[in-house]
Structure 1
Amino acid sequence: MGVLRSSVVAIALSSILLVAANNSGSIDRHAVVSRYNPTRNASSQSTPVQVGNGGFAFGADVTGLQTFLPYATLSSWGWKNDSLPAGKTQTDIDNYEGAQWPSHGRDVQYMFDGEPTMLQWMIANPNRVNLGQVGLLFSDGKGNAVNVAETDLAEVEQDLDLWTGTISSSFVYQGKKVTVKTTSAQSSDAIGVTVTSPLVESGHLGIFLDFPWNDGSQKFAAPFVGVFNQTSNHTTTLRNGRGLGRNVQAEISHTQVNSTFLTSVGGDGFAISRVSPSAHRYNILASNHRSSSFSVTVAFSAARLKSIPQPVDVANESKSVWTKFWSSTGFIDVHTGSTDTRADELQRRIVLSRYWLRVNEAGDTPPQESGLVNNGWYGKFHMEMVFWHLAHWALWNNWELLDRSIDVYSRFLQTSLQRAQVQEGFASGARWSKMTDPTGRSAPGEINELLIWQQPHPLIFAQYDYRAHKSRATLNKWKDVVRETANFMASFAWFNQSSGFYDLGPTMYTVAEDTNPNITRNAAFELSYWRFGLDLAGEWFKNLGEKAPSAWKQVTDKLAPLPVENGLYAVYEGIEPDFWTDPTYINDHPSLAGLHGWLPLTANVSLDIAKATADKAFTSWNISNCWGWDFPMLAMSAARNGETDQAVDWLLHPLFEFDDIGMPVGGVRVPTPYFPGSSALLYAVAMMAEGWDGSNTTAPGFPSKSKGWNVRAEGISKAL
């Protein structure tokens, strides 16, 4: 973000906060946040306590480090490719073509099917790397490690100070008190650690580093990423002494296949040694035996660093950035003054979701489903989930965070144009991928190739950006992305000579991914989203003072009507009339409820039918199989339809779970955490608290104060 834009945002936001303060009295933000500082007395077997900066995160067990449980250190940049399958070359990968399926009188080239080993390699690569383990070293006083278990510790306490991003851990070992402070740098990918104990002074306590082997053999690597017992698959090399960056006393290079990652260590003076030539574990002990305190910085990078911060600088930067985050952007208080006892739990989820998403989902690429806690889908991210992961930043006015990754649409524009040309034969238009990585390459797979609801997403982000920064510069910034997104959407809609309408599909998958793509035509949600997106694109070019391509209006004017069965919207045109009782169609994401809730009322949707359809979904869908963002989406539907009690019920549904530190539980579908649940919660709460286009009451999505809800919002923007 440029200096000018930062200043404009700061001035505008200050004005918003001042108005809110004058109207209702400013929220005591520190008190609200601190109320929910997580505490633990033992390590969790499923989720770590983390520090991080959005593109880098360090997961800790109850010691404040990774002493007993090898939680991950993940980043947005740490990726590697596995060795190619036997007998295959890079040329084979580059020349892969996949399957051809007939569609509307011509063959379409899709990236699925083919030789299994090569196909799986392309799906699993590149994969995200656990950069390394940092733990407490319990020593015999002569530099040798001794085996200690968590059960050997007494008086264990851990606290995460959300306001400063500081983990404070303490315990007693062999009668000696140990305290550990852990923070993360915000402008570099490093942690600062301070260990204080008489055991440091006596040489019985230090720090160890260890490095795992990572590969694409597991679609889900949770709760831990990488393995530590395949040491022959990779190499590490220690370098110390002169010639390193400023403040760097030791550097370890870790090579896996053709990728090398560096770990740089500095801080107080220390001695470092490799445990054995066949291991990748390094022991670090303080050089000063007259001090009970030992502080180090451990930094991770893909290239040699010119300098690393001192531990105290890491701690100070963490405090400064986190204090600013909590103090100067959007904030919602639903607890203070509320008499509904559930307000406390909802506030806990709000505050902790804000922290975890700031740690895990504010990097320079969109996040994967589990953020930087563990790996799902090989660590790759999903473009259809970008809305759920990132749109909340816009409503909470965290543009400096959203700007880090939302230019992914500009970065991926050329590969998306090529995809539409090669795959569909379209002369223009960008087909955004589904499952991808920082290269923008689409991972092969039938669902990956045939899903379409990610296509309008950039039009939503562009609109929010223009609302927040109404300028010619914003219009030009998004111009190419808006044009090519809409060009693809118009080209994808095929004119049906029999009906006189433009159809969507076949071939396509719906949001729920549970219909036959070869017969799925005119899915209700996708039709509504298509109309909304094309209308936004047309308005964009009107604001530019330029004429939009005529094809856009031709499609919107003649887009097929949403399918209706028995007075309710149907999943897609031609579906069996009794689909509401068929588990095949009511067992996954209930997107029909999103027609008026997630989306505003579009020109091709009847409000009465949308409301009736949502009510039917509330009672007939298999809610026991819903997960993650489903519940906030249902809440948004209830809120827009005036059912505010139901909206809160959905946000606090027993199956929409958050663990003891506020991480969203994956449930039976995916490992924990599943962060789209957190980000969708924040989007829904912002919408319910501040409202949406056309709403004109305070907190229109929440029950009234007479029903026990006192809701105050500062610096929150309305939803579309």
Structure 2
Amino acid sequence: MTLHRYVCITLFLAVAGAQAASIDRQALVSRHNPSLNSIDTMAPLSVGNGRFAFTADVTGLQSLPDLYWKTGTPTETQARWSWHENANPNHYKLSDANRDYTAHGRTLGYPTNQNSPAGQWLRLNPHVQPLPQIGFVLGGADARPLAAADVTSVDQKLDMWRGQLDSRVQLLGQPVSVSSAVDPGSDTLALRIKSPLLASGRIAVRVALPFGYDFRVKHNPPLDWSGTHTSTVLEQSPRLLIIEHRRDAARYAMTLASAAPLAIKRSGPHSFEISPSAGGDTLDLTVSFAQNGRAPAQQSEQVFTRSAEHWRAFWQSGAAVDFSGSTDPRAAELERRVVLSEYLTAIQLGDTIPAQESGLTTATWFGKHHTEMVWWHTAHFALWGRPEYTARTLGWFQRTLPAARAVAAERGLKGARWMKMTGPEGRESPGGNPLIVWNQPHAIHLAELLYRANPTHETLARYNELVFETADAMASMLNWDAAGKRFVLGPPLWIAQEIYDQSSSENPAYELSYWAWALETAQRWRERLGMPRNPDWENRRTHLSALPQKDGKYVALESHPDTWENVDSRHDHPSFLMAFGQLPGDGVDRAIMRNTLDAVLTKWDWATKIWGWDYPMIAMTAARLGEPDKAVDVLLKTDGPNNGYTKAGHNPNTGLPVYLPGNGALLAAVAMMAGGWDGAPDRPAPGFPNNGRWVVHAEGFQRLP
């Protein structure tokens, strides 16, 4: 990973006369290393590099897959480049799932018919393809899969400073130890395994290559072992096994290598059992993967060394926040969530293909990413002084500009209109998805964060096409209301609070503010490049509709101003708060927003459907309003669903054991609260209470606009 130099400012809150000192980052990270002493199926631990990850149960491998899948979080091996697509004999195209919507004097087709045959195929394809499952099996007279009752004396610890997972258990009353790490520069898993059971032949390591996922289950689908696929041995020797897996046109190669001789047994068409040759008690393996060609064999010692170097550099770069010394009893838990979220987002997000909401742990929405989540997934990297991760993901938007231009043209728009739910190729997925609009400004926002991290002509030149074409589409999505002498947004559209009728929704508060901010930001990019302001953008921005309000509070939509009158309108995301939280408040009246925040805190439906990213999002609004106590209270709110964090650091949400938008939003909120924002009060950590109970040491943060 390329390291960037940043000026670090140590901030202290509530410690009078304290001397500035750098945070002891190794101590900060190490005190939150996850440690397990029993089976916890909600907290399998992972090692990874952002595009490839291996998730293990307490044995250090994937030895109890059914138990973890049925009762907690699946244990899988995933790579963000591994995809499969079913045959399309009917030649379905996106327009085959269209439904007509009439508004503003014209009728346009949008692919919202997800239940049609075309819609079903297009939603399912392409989909992620899992990599092999690697786990212990019992051999000899005990030959069978491992059961939970076989596992005792659990002692498992993830060393995040080195990116190394160390697992010790007893199987059949005998000790077994496994250490694992992932190479930062290749998709390679290194394993060090030691047990007398290996020498006696009573256990072996089974490598099994699945057909794919059983997508009859929408989220966290089980692995499917039943379909037609091939696992071909390309090369085998005492120290090397190279296998090519093919399923239709999808393929990958696996290279298993060892410095010592191995006993390799093919136990089935798609499974292999690995044990030491000549009865040794140690296996020192690397398992490498490649989408194209063969993955070169790696040495395990070098992988462990490179992993340690990479993670030490990661933690020593960018920002850090330390709450030690705080007397608020919630401070230690917040610090734990933050450190674990830094690790989890680094191993699962920030790739050149945007992540699904479950990262590289399990499959959700067929592995496709939701572009409205890209801000929560990657903005925090830039705010934490690690903009290279944000840049990798933004590169996907640059590569898929042709697809976004095509979508814009089909809908009568200029520029590039971003798809909502898509795989690596950038094709829209049918459903309500194509009518979501709050994903549109994200590309501009992320580009602006990268410019603030590196305010050079090079940054402007790299992203100006992306910024300008996104702004062109956004401007052309606005329609002139002659009677009101203003531009309106929608219909049709689907707002961030996904509960309203798409065919009639018009002028959502959050999205209007985002439009105003993004168009003004695009204008500033033109000025930075010595270009005049775009007159069309300016006309539309300055004549944009006002944010809808009623009775002194903002409402979700001008067309449906029932937010505070209808209890059924007060669930899902209170997204209008983002206009003054995630965003700096274009068009926002602070007094009205303060009333709105108070109404959300007292009248919103906190008991049922509210998502993990809502809590940090609301905290950001409270911080901007100068309400740091409320910001902390909602950030750590316990009397609502979906705001818990497992021992592994994951933020489970309803039906989803892993939900990374929650982790990313937490990091964005803490970055803002600790590092500040444009126009923040001139004091350290302005988003945290100045009440003597919070001691906040923060360094290296970039301010939020």
Same fold (TM over 0.5): yes
Question: Is it true that 1:342 corresponds to 2:330 in the alignment?
Answer: yes
Q: Where does residue 182 of structure 1 map in the other structure?
A: 180
Residues 211 and 522 (structure 1), Cα distance of their counterparts in 2 relative to 1, 3 Å cut? same
Residues 612 and 174 (structure 1), Cα distance of their counterparts in 2 relative to 1, 3 Å cut? closer
Residues 42 and 717 (structure 1), Cα distance of their counterparts in 2 relative to 1, 3 Å cut? same
Equivalent of 2:602 in 619, 628, 644: 619
Question: Is it true that 1:608 corresponds to 2:591 in the alignment?
Answer: yes
Question: Is it true that 1:73 corresponds to 2:77 in the alignment?
Answer: yes
Question: Is it true that 1:240 corresponds to 2:235 in the alignment?
Answer: yes
Other structure's SS at 1:315 match: helix
Post-superposition CA distance 1:117-142 (Å, at most 9, x none):
2220100111111111011233218x
Residues 559 and 174 (structure 1), Cα distance of their counterparts in 2 relative to 1, 3 Å cut? closer
Equivalent of 2:256 in 265, 270, 277: 265
- Structure 1: any 5+ residue segments left out of the alignment? none
- Supply the distance in 2 between the matched residues of 1:94 and 1:703 (Cα, whole angstroms): 51
List aligned pairs for 1:425-436, cutoff 5 A: 425-426=412-413, 428-436=414-422
Post-superposition CA distance 1:646-695 (Å, at most 9, x none):
111111111311112211111x3x41111101000000001000110011
List aligned pairs for 1:537-548, cutoff 5 A: 537-548=522-533
Contact 2:47-2:53 within 8 A present in 1 as well: yes
- Supply the distance in 2 between the matched residues of 1:115 and 1:221 (Cα, whole angstroms): 18
- Supply the distance in 2 between the matched residues of 1:579 and 1:702 (Cα, whole angstroms): 29
Deviation at 1:96, TM superposition (A): 3.2
Equivalent of 1:647 in 613, 622, 631: 631
Q: Which has the higher relative contact order, 1 or 2, with Cα contacts under 8 A spaced 6 or more apart?
A: 2
Contact 1:592-1:614 within 8 A present in 2 as well: no
Equivalent of 2:494 in 509, 512, 519: 509
Equivalent of 2:317 in 304, 324, 328: 328
Amino acid at match of 1:320: E
- Supply the distance in 1 between the matched residues of 2:369 and 2:408 (Cα, whole angstroms): 20
Q: Where does residue 284 of structure 2 map in the other structure?
A: 295
- Supply the distance in 2 between the matched residues of 1:462 and 1:98 (Cα, whole angstroms): 32
Deviation at 1:260, TM superposition (A): 1.7
What TM-score, normalized to structure 1? Answer: 0.92
- Supply the distance in 1 between the matched residues of 2:115 and 2:599 (Cα, whole angstroms): 44
- Supply the distance in 1 between the matched residues of 2:317 and 2:337 (Cα, whole angstroms): 20
Q: Where does residue 58 of structure 1 map in the other structure?
A: 54
Q: Where does residue 15 of structure 2 map in the other structure?
A: none
Higher mean Cα deviation, 171-180 or 676-685? 171-180
Q: Where does residue 96 of structure 1 map in the other structure?
A: 96
Higher mean Cα deviation, 552-561 or 621-630? 621-630
Deviation at 1:173, TM superposition (A): 2.9
Contact 2:380-2:664 within 8 A present in 1 as well: yes
Contact 2:178-2:191 within 8 A present in 1 as well: yes
List aligned pairs for 1:359-508, cutoff 5 A: 359-422=347-410, 424-426=411-413, 428-445=414-431, 447-508=432-493
- Supply the distance in 2 between the matched residues of 1:94 and 1:25 (Cα, whole angstroms): 57
- Supply the distance in 2 between the matched residues of 1:387 and 1:254 (Cα, whole angstroms): 35
Contact 2:97-2:430 within 8 A present in 1 as well: no
Contact 1:56-1:363 within 8 A present in 2 as well: no
Deviation at 1:225, TM superposition (A): 4.2
Deviation at 1:25, TM superposition (A): 0.7
Deviation at 1:43, TM superposition (A): 3.2
Amino acid at match of 1:240: E
Q: Where does residue 300 of structure 2 map in the other structure?
A: 311
Q: Where does residue 537 of structure 2 map in the other structure?
A: 552
Contact 1:266-1:308 within 8 A present in 2 as well: yes
Contact 1:82-1:215 within 8 A present in 2 as well: no
Amino acid at match of 1:639: A
Contact 2:95-2:111 within 8 A present in 1 as well: no
Q: Where does residue 282 of structure 1 map in the other structure?
A: 272
Post-superposition CA distance 1:436-486 (Å, at most 9, x none):
1100101111x2111111111111111111111111111111111111111
Q: Give % identity.
A: 35
Contact 2:391-2:450 within 8 A present in 1 as well: no
Number of residue pairs aligned between Structure 1 and Structure 2: 686
Equivalent of 1:675 in 640, 643, 660: 660
Contact 1:47-1:673 within 8 A present in 2 as well: no
Deviation at 1:44, TM superposition (A): 3.0
Deviation at 1:306, TM superposition (A): 5.2
Contact 2:341-2:663 within 8 A present in 1 as well: yes
Contact 1:127-1:216 within 8 A present in 2 as well: no
- Supply the distance in 1 between the matched residues of 2:629 and 2:56 (Cα, whole angstroms): 38
- Supply the distance in 1 between the matched residues of 2:529 and 2:252 (Cα, whole angstroms): 45
Q: Where does residue 530 of structure 1 map in the other structure?
A: 515
Contact 1:248-1:308 within 8 A present in 2 as well: no
Amino acid at match of 1:89: N
Q: Where does residue 156 of structure 1 map in the other structure?
A: 154
- Supply the distance in 2 between the matched residues of 1:303 and 1:218 (Cα, whole angstroms): 29
Deviation at 1:394, TM superposition (A): 0.6
Post-superposition CA distance 1:491-519 (Å, at most 9, x none):
11111111100011111111111111222
What TM-score, normalized to structure 2? Answer: 0.93
- Structure 2: any 5+ residue segments left out of the alignment? 13-17, 67-74
Post-superposition CA distance 1:616-661 (Å, at most 9, x none):
1221111222111100011111111111111111111113111122
Higher mean Cα deviation, 208-217 or 124-133? 208-217
Contact 1:567-1:609 within 8 A present in 2 as well: yes
Q: Where does residue 134 of structure 1 map in the other structure?
A: 134
Contact 2:42-2:646 within 8 A present in 1 as well: no
- Supply the distance in 2 between the matched residues of 1:456 and 1:378 (Cα, whole angstroms): 25
- Supply the distance in 1 between the matched residues of 2:506 and 2:154 (Cα, whole angstroms): 58
Q: Where does residue 659 of structure 1 map in the other structure?
A: 646
Amino acid at match of 1:565: K
Contact 2:255-2:296 within 8 A present in 1 as well: no
Question: Is it true that 1:250 corresponds to 2:241 in the alignment?
Answer: yes
